[in-house]
Structure 1
Amino acid sequence: MSTQAFAEVGALRLAALTAGSSERPAIVLLHGWPLCSAIWAPVMPQLSKERFVLAFDLPGTGKSTGGTPIPTLKADIAEAILDGANALGARDLIVAGVDVGGMIAFAAARDFGNRVAGAVIMNTVLPGLDPWNELLAHPQIWHFALHQITNLPEILVTGRERAYFDFFLDMLAADKTKLDDQLRRACVEQYATPSALRTGFDWYRSMPQDAEHNAVTQPIDTPILYLRGDADRRPIDPYLDGLRKAGASRVQGKTIPGSGELLSVEAPDLLVAALLQFADGLSARQT
């Protein structure tokens, strides 16, 4: 059973679904685009038996409101999320995210490593890290360029959000029938206002700046787990190599069978097992 909670972070009011005792170490879950916090519902009950779980609406979408301007650089979002998690009682936290949420999880590890115990990055390419340039040139990644154009995506998508989002959900899933109507409607509702829709596209518009930021190599001591579903058949090694070249010294990877991008929906038991194994390994190192 999850509870809706809110944290005031400067001018932002961040919303999170929470489950489990705040006395336990925390796992912070971050959605991407065009996703919403509801994608974590299948894994929160199991995770909350051992951890304090917080599934945030990213700033400017869903119930997370306020902020002028709304942060869209991934390091800025990471800082806001960490402040919000701490305000809600999170400690010894792991930040785990999919898609854009994974970019934010990396920013937490890279730029705020002293505030997190670990980071889990799921099914995303990281701006500025290999294989970033290779992926941008791939025809299937056409939407990265489209979404960076000023105003045009909003003009094309407004009023057609369900059809547009369904296209991506169907493309990214190993089995699109696992993404039910309730989840699909929740994702549309996440971006229901003009400002929320614009915020989602602004995550893409800020990626060139994210790439410049991330391309500056520095030591990253935070333990990182990189997860991929096996549906797109891309090998995981180039992503792990990109993290190591960026300065990450404690990187491990795992491919989850029978899943596309939405590991939490398509393979919830396997994702829970991977997250808790990673978390337990961090705890063992600290004792």
Structure 2
Amino acid sequence: MKSVDKLSEQSGFHSQQLSIEGTAIHAVTAGQNDNPAILFLHGFPQNWMAFRNVMTGLAGQFYVVAIDLPGIGESEKIPANDTRTIARYVKGVIAELGLTKVTLVGHDLGGMVTYAFLRAYPNDLSKAVIMNVVVPGVEPWSQVKKNPHIWHFPFHSIPDLPEALVMGKQRIYFDYFFTTIAAKPDKIEEQARNAYAEAYSSYDALHTGFEWYRAFGQDEKDNVAAKGEPVQTPLLYLRGEREYGKIDDYLTGFRESGLTNVSGQVIPGSGHYAPEEASEEVVNILLSFIR
């Protein structure tokens, strides 16, 4: 049995496979399924376990669900990896589980998918939360693309080369990010780090992770084309205090893109991996926002 399943059992979570458009999507749930739902979407290089502590803190009041994004961990790959396509499968997860009063929470790439979902299905969510990420085509995207310190965006976009260099060295490569862009690297525990490396251990899974970056051009086109179309769903943008950049620039970008109900909050002391670095703070912020 894989470590992800061992952790889900130990935590009282329920692990299941959903069939979405004929593709198996791995979902982990906790709480009562008649409660309002919170659906969590992870980013790179993680899987559903990124939200394990946050889910534990919220399961008493909500039906909490986290998935392995298509192609990662126990989820099968899909034909395309742009965020609009991934959002369609997320919509399928919501329908398959019969989720109601849904708040969609996305971190990193999952935040980009959350934005794409808001654009494609603006009336399907009660609320949305985007954490620690810039969205292609939404400012400050143009500045982020020029930042030489964000070297992994162009590197991951190169065809085939990242797979050749990282395959077999996933744990080493992922640890670099956990150490470098987390303010509290020790909060990303050894068991989780091993599970993340395991979730991307196959060539197909690793390839999927890099394909997300290769799809940024398409994501940017889709998001720019949707600019100006109003979306009234309440959006909360969260950013770690130790993340590069000013949160106000991100909030302005969302508002200028057409999102009419945007608020933001800085997570004190946190770097990029807020769901693990500051689990309790994230739980309290989500409770306040959703209520």
Q: TM-score, normalised by structure 2?
A: 0.93
Q: Deviations over 1:136-187 (max 9, x none)?
A: 1111111111111110110111111111111111112101121121111111
Structure 1 equivalent of residue 207 of structure 2: 198
1:97-176 equivalent positions in 2, closer than 5 A: 97-176=106-185
* Structure 1 residues 29-48: aligned runs within 5 Å: 29-48=40-59
Q: For 1:256 and 1:76, how far apart are their aligned partners in 2?
A: 30
Contact 2:15/2:26, CA 8 A, preserved across alignment: yes
Root-mean-square deviation (Å): 1.1
Contact map agreement 2:77 2:208 (CA 8 A) in 1: no
Contact kept, 8 Å, 1:110 with 1:222, in 2: the verdict is: no
User: What secondary structure does 1:72 align onto?
Assistant: coil
Residues 99-140 of structure 1: CA deviation (Å, up to 9, x unaligned): 000001111112111111111000000000100010111111
- Tell me the amino acid that sits aligned with residue 21 of structure 1: Q
Q: CA deviation at 1:83?
A: 0.9
Matched, 1:22 2:33: yes
In the alignment, the residues of structure 2 paired with residue 220 and residue 44 of structure 1 have an alpha-carbon distance, to the nearest angstrom, of 27
Kept after mapping to 1: 8 A contact 2:174/2:197: yes
Q: Does 1:186 align with 2:195?
A: yes
Q: Distance in 1 between matches of 2:54 and 2:235?
A: 20
Unaligned runs of 5+ in 1: 281-287
- Segments of structure 2 that go 5 or more residues without pairing to the other structure are 1-11
Say whether 1:94 aligns with 2:103.
yes
Find 2:16's aligned residue among 5, 10, 29. 5
Q: In the alignment, what sits opposite 2:73?
A: 62
Cα 1:22–1:165 shift into 2, 3 Å:
same
Task: Give the partner amino acid of 1:156.
Answer: L
Contact 1:170–1:176 under 8 Å retained in 2:
yes
Aligned partners of 1:108 and 1:116 also within 8 Å? no
Q: What amino acid does structure 1 have at the position aligned with 2:13?
A: S
The counterpart of 1:222, out of the listed 229, 233, 245, is: 233
Could you tell me the percent identity over the aligned residues? 40
- For 1:202 and 1:178, how far apart are their aligned partners in 2? 28
Q: 1:249 to 1:36 in 2, by over 3 A?
A: same
Partners of 1:132 and 1:244 lie apart in 2 by: 14
Instruction: For 2:133 and 2:40, locate their aligned partners in 1 and report how far apart those are by CA, in whole Å.
Output: 15
Secondary structure of the residue aligned to 1:226 is strand
Q: How does 1:207-218 map to 2 (within 5 A)?
A: 207-216=216-225, 217=227, 218=229
Aligned equivalents of 2:250, 2:30: Cα separation in 1: 31
Per-residue CA deviation, residues 50-105 of structure 1 (Å, 9 max, x unaligned), is 111001000011011154x2x31111111101211221221111110110000011
Asked whether the 8 Å contact 2:199–2:205 carries over to 1, the reply is yes
- Deviation string for 1:8-56 (max 9, x for gaps)? 1112111111001110110000110011111111111221111110010
CA contact (8 A) 1:54 1:85 kept: no
> Is contact 1:231–1:259 with CA below 8 Å preserved after alignment?
yes
Work out the number of aligned pairs and report it: 278
The 2-side partners of 1:134 and 1:265 are apart by 27
